[in-house]
Structure 1
Amino acid sequence: MKSTDTSSGLFITLEGGEGSGKSTQGQMLTRHLQGKGHHVVWTKEPGGTEIGQALRKVVMSNHHGDMVPETELLIYLADRTQHVKSKILPAMREGGIIISDRYHDSSVAYQHFARGVPMATLDFLFRNLAGGLVPDITFVLDISPETAIKRIEKRTVEHPESLSKFEEEALSFHRKVRQGFLEIAAKEPNRVKVIPADRPREDIFDQILTFLIPLLPATHPGGAT
């Protein structure tokens, strides 16, 4: 289901491996669009809803080392189902711009390409639980796993409590995730734009805007979320 089939809203997703700078770009984009008068909802997966926050604590914890890939996927799909039905779709029906830090492409990259869960399983669950909602545009912030790990290590020195279980994975895992995102982009070039993320954040932001501006709806009263 394309988001344009459901409403006049615009659904934007930001994807990429660990340490790629998605959250920074999402926050910059949210502030920019709000400043232009757009009604913007900034959200994330997992954890974009109250229920999602509880699920996030489980799936991102370092204390569940015996969690199998299928269980991990089901938690993400539970989070996504709640997220789409209680937050994303209502905002889109009001004509808002939704910006999500991660969405279903992350499940494809992490649980399929890196963990080995069959793609048919992901497709079935996504369609039948979360409704198969497809973003209008997706930006994959692409950096080498080696660069990402250096960023993570630098951040962890300052905030050791911030290290997630995915950031502790081996380099080979992060390479599979990156390859997954690049393969998604190769299959869907109209929707998925690969943005080199090993450069100043302002340059990254400018390139994102270049792709996004033609898709933006006219501004209207209604404030921002």
Structure 2
Amino acid sequence: MSLLDRRNVACRDHAGQRGRPGGERVRGSRMATTVTLVAAGATASTRQSALPRPDEPLLAAPAALPTRLAAAWCGPELRCVQTAAALGWSAVPAEPLRDIDAGRWIGRTSADLLESEPEAFVTWLRDPVFRAPGGESFAHLVLRAGGWAGDAGGAGWPHGRVALVVAPMVVRSMILALVGWPAVDGHGIDVAPLDVFQVRGTPGRWRLRAGRSLSDGGTADE
């Protein structure tokens, strides 16, 4: 059983221990919010296992996915804006939802970094509090995303379905921030371009649902 599967089971068990009426209320309540997290599509850099620049365009746009949304946001990167537009969603770019800052490593491939700076690069991948040279740590990204997620950037979470189109690392951080898992668990969640995850509930009571991918014909629906 993967870390993600174990966490899903733990969340369900925890909800049950808090009382069946409360769990049913979140599951069936019209007041709940479903947050659909979509990882932006691939770019030339991500296809080469490189850390992408903010202005890189998509290699291929996903098919339109008409969905009735109460609100939608996206990262400020071009690939996030283009992915949201291709899906047919009117997403508002939000600066706090930007990808992790890899500092002077931006644009470089994993193979290059493993050869030239193996210790620092591997530590950055494994240790959530280790900062990239001139950049930030994964733990800082979780705090940044969590600050925005507290009240949807000041707008408040609307009831119904909302969507976020962000970089894969930001998808990880949003899952951790909403569900309340520690940053160290982020590397146990695999997120590829166009992968979709859903978090459902109310502020302080979020549950992670199963992930899927749009790249193989999947949908963003539950």
TM-score above 0.5: no
Q: Which has the higher contact order (CA 8 A, sep 6+)?
A: 1
With the length of structure 1 as denominator, give the TM-score of the two structures: 0.37
